[in-house]
């Protein structure tokens, strides 16, 4: 393990963060990017990130220097030869990923692993054309990679078990918590997170304010409300992810793309990067008061609705196989900083209460959302 060589292709924020993760863990890292400015600026950008940790007292100057010394920038993918694990973190485009791996693979040993950072493209498609397609897996890191503990691990039907084991071992050696998941659109986090945003957008279209929804969720223990989280990542990024998952899942109403999100992107109010968003630059105020009888729209009803949808989506993913309830809970806590996972929430609420909430939502759902709240099989058990 200590002799493993790591390669990273793609030196944007995600790729450089992945390179930093492994370099900080003691691995020699070779990295490249198709764009010369990204290659040329990579050492300085990593140094700036590490300097911030030194200034905060979280890293010693000696550890910073050692991490930087382990990073080697190379000109072309062919120069990544000899790597034990080669990770791509480039644009979400099937043809581009295939072309990149076709250039990297010939320089790797037969037992080396190719890993894609995708969570939206089918892995068998990415592996197509490789001489050793069984050596391709997914290692999906979360942004910012140095700070986020979660890595989702997936293989396609032809992935070698030894490739999955090596990918897991190297990611764990770099300090990550690795959760196995099926090769399904969105893996765990990006798929199970859709209701967090979707139900919030439905509430917005029904007349609730973004600030009230966020305040209710923050009061319930969530670090960020759904609209603040959209503002953080960018409404355009959220829209692209939602559209991609909707298409991959056949347009099922659980992945409906709400008009409010499209309108937000069209307005240019994309969130922090644009200086304004659903709630940014304001902070959510106090949660709306609970009305007697839990009238629709009060804080308790907002939280119950969003958590019911989160639980149901997790239940449908669980029913498809390849993942555990514990794995889903861990992934959602670590990947989104949720206070608890959906199955932990299910244990707290109880299946009858969740079924009741879903039935109420289904009964008043508009035609285009019919079937959105159909309960997952796990909810049939009390």
Instruction: Summarize pLDDT for 344-373 with one digit per residue, the tens.
Output: 999 999 999 999 999 999 999 999 999 999
Query: Residue 4: what pLDDT?
Result: 95
Instruction: Domain 189-380: give its CATH architecture.
Output: Orthogonal Bundle (1.10)
Interval 10-40: pLDDT, tens: 999 999 999 999 999 999 999 999 999 999 9
Residue ranges of the domains in the chain? 6-180, 189-380
What would the 3-class secondary structure string for the chain be?
CCCCCEEEECCCHHHHHHHHHHHHCCCCEEEECCCHHHHHHHHHHHHHHHHHHHHCCCCCHHHHHHHHHCEEECCCHHHHCCCCEEEECCCCCHHHHHHHHHHHHHHCCCCCEEEECCCCCCHHHHHCCCCCHHHEEEEEECCCCCCCCEEEEEECCCCCHHHHHHHHHHHHHCCCEEEECCCCCCCCHHHHCHHHHHHHHHHHHCCCCHHHHHHHHHHCCCCCCHHHHHHHHCHHHHHHHHHHHHHHCCCCHHHCCCHHHHHHHHHCCCEHHHCECCCCCCCCCCCCCCCCCCCCCCHHHHHHHHHHHHHHHHHHHHHHCCCCHHHHHHHHHHHHCCCCCHHHHHHHHCHHHHHHHHHHHHHCCCHHHCCCCCCCHHHHCC
| Record: fold of 6-180 | Rossmann fold (3.40.50)
Query: Residue 38: what pLDDT?
Result: 97
pTM: 0.92
pLDDT band of 285, cuts 50, 70, 90: confident
Query: Residue 291: what pLDDT?
Result: 47
296 pLDDT more than 60? no
Interval 169-225: pLDDT, tens: 999 999 999 999 999 999 999 999 999 999 999 999 999 999 999 999 999 999 999
Query: Residue 2: what pLDDT?
Result: 61
Q: Do domains 6-180 and 189-380 have the same CATH topology?
A: no
């Amino acid at each position: 393990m200590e002799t493993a060589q790591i390669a990273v292709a793609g030196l944007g924020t995600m790729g450089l963060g992945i390179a930093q993760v492994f370099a900080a863990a003691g691995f020699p890292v070779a990295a490249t990017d198709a764009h010369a400015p990204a290659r040329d600026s990579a050492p300085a950008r990593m140094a700036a990130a590490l300097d911030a940790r030194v200034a905060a007292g979280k890293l010693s100057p000696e550890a910073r220097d050692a991490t930087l010394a382990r990073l080697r920038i190379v000109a072309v993918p062919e120069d990544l030869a000899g790597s034990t694990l080669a990770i791509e973190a480039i644009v979400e485009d099937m043809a581009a990923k295939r072309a990149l791996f076709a250039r990297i693979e010939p320089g790797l040993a037969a037992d080396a692993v190719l890993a894609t950072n995708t969570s939206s493209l089918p892995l068998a498609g990415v592996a197509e054309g490789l001489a050793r397609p069984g050596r391709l897996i997914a290692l999906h890191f979360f942004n910012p990679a140095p700070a986020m503990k979660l890595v989702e691990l997936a293989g396609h039907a032809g992935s070698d078990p030894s490739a999955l084991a090596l990918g897991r071992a190297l990611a764990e050696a770099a300090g990550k918590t690795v959760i196995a998941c099926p090769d399904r659109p969105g893996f765990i986090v990006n798929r199970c997170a859709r209701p967090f945003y979707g139900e919030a957008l439905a509430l917005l279209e029904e007349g609730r304010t973004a600030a009230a929804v966020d305040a209710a969720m923050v009061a319930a223990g969530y670090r960020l409300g759904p609209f603040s989280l959209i503002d953080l990542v960018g409404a355009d990024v959220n829209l692209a992810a939602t559209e991609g998952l909707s298409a991959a899942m056949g347009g099922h109403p659980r992945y409906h793309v709400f008009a409010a999100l499209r309108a937000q992107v069209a307005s240019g109010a994309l969130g922090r990067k644009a200086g304004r968003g659903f709630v940014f630059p304001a902070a959510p105020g106090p949660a709306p008061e609970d009305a007697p009888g839990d009238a629709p729209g009060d804080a308790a009803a907002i939280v119950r609705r969003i958590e019911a949808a989160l639980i149901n989506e997790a239940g449908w993913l669980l029913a498809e196989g390849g993942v555990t309830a514990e794995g889903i809970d861990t992934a959602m806590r670590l990947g989104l900083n949720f206070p608890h996972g959906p199955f932990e929430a299910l244990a707290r609420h109880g299946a009858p209460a969740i079924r009741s909430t879903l039935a109420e939502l289904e009964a008043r759902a508009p035609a285009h959302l019919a079937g959105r709240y159909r309960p997952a099989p796990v909810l049939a058990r009390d």
